[in-house]
Amino acid sequence: MKVFKFGGASVKDAQSVKNVALVLETQGFESCLLVVSAMGKTTNALEKVVENYFAKLDYQSEIEKVKLKHLEISQDLFAENHAVFAEISLFFSDIESFLRRNKSPNYNFVYDQVVSCGELISSKILSEYLNDINFKNVWCDSRDYIKTDSNYREGNINWEETEQNMSALNQHDCYVTQGFIGSDDNNFTVTLGREGSDYSAAIFAYCLNAEAMTIWKDVPGVMTGDPRKFENVSLLDHISYEDAIEMAYYGASVIHPKTLQPLKQKNIPFYVKSFLEPKNTGTKIGAREERSQKESFILKENQHLMRIATRDFSFIAEEHLSQIFSSLAKYKIKISLMQNSAISLDLCLEDMYGRITELEQELQQQFNTEIIKNVSLYTIRNANLEQLNKFYLNKNILLEQIAQKTIQVVTN
């Protein structure tokens, strides 16, 4: 079985949904499972619903906007009396019903129950459209298969139960399902982390012993840099799992950080291809490829640079680090870069859940802190050291770290 993942950009409107069928024509639609993200910016729109709900603002009108958007897309895909329109309306009625009945003050729990509907609706629309044009498939709810703990917004997979559930899928059939979501022991929805649809595809590929997995993007494959951010980038046509894991760790947006591990464990080939040019080869990621020596550039934006120093000028010791790391874990703030001196620790941080102020307030009880918000972290792999002056031109360098031929620089 092959696993294909289609992201939000590849199903953002009616024409994009139709293009998925064109992609499938080039690839063959036999023994295949499609993992689908929410359409376009739907996740952001549903996040606004949750924000308004907790702020006791009008969230119903936000739901209505998202509903109308999906109905408009569907009008360009289906006949007027098609059953899909009633199903779309039912999904949105379920969101409103849940929010009316909900008594939980847990933001992350409510977030997962609401935001997950984006994937459920987009996958239903795609499944129905493909069936209508004779790409026969079965729509399935990934929450029936991917089981997690109750760590809402970043669920941890119960691999044994998940693998057992997926054994019920017929390897000769075709399926359309959702990325980003699973369910806990109480059958509440649990999301797998922002941009987690790639990870979902890897989970299905691992449990189904897929022959290959392909992620369809709006870029030709894995590039030596984001073409929207860097000039003169080129395609990496073959890279190793190790290279891909490092690039994901450093922030390459084309690959979700958790995606590679399950694929590497079973040596499942992983392709990144363009849904705009599906006949092109894209990038192959595999076990036997030599590690790339091409210079590549990765940019992580919306980072925060925090300097933490002891108040009595004592060394930053193990007990200090333990306390700092405990606070970071508490607020789910991730370290992108770390550098320490005798009495201070510099951290470049990624604050996915908007809790950097709470972290700083807690640390200020024991330490002196300074923070520069909204900085950028550049990583250059296989850096051409002789050409670095061009890169540094017109940049205000706040922090720099060099390890072998990998250079990381924080700027504002």
Q: Where does 126-279 show beta strands of DSSP type E? A: 138-139, 175-178, 181-183, 189-191, 212-217, 238-240, 270-274
Round to whole Å and give the CA distance between 75 and 363.
Answer: 53
Q: What is the pLDDT of residue 245?
A: 87
26 in helix, strand or coil? helix
Q: Give the relative orientation of helices 117-132 and 60-75 as an angle to the nearest 10 degrees.
A: 10
pLDDT for res 287: 82
Q: Where are the domains of the chain?
A: 2-217, 296-411
Q: Which CATH architecture has domain 2-217?
A: 3-Layer(aba) Sandwich (3.40)
Put simply, whether the predicted model's pTM sits higher than 0.75 gets the answer: yes
**108: Cβ contacts below 8 Å, ≥ 6 apart:** 152, 153
Among residues 305, 310, 332, 312, the alpha carbon closest in space to that of 321 is found at: 310
pLDDT of residue 290: 65
Q: Which residues of the chain have pLDDT under 50?
A: none
Please give the CATH topology (third level) of the domain spanning 296-411: VC0802-like (3.30.2130)
| pLDDT (0 to 100) of residue 93 | 97
pLDDT at 291: 66
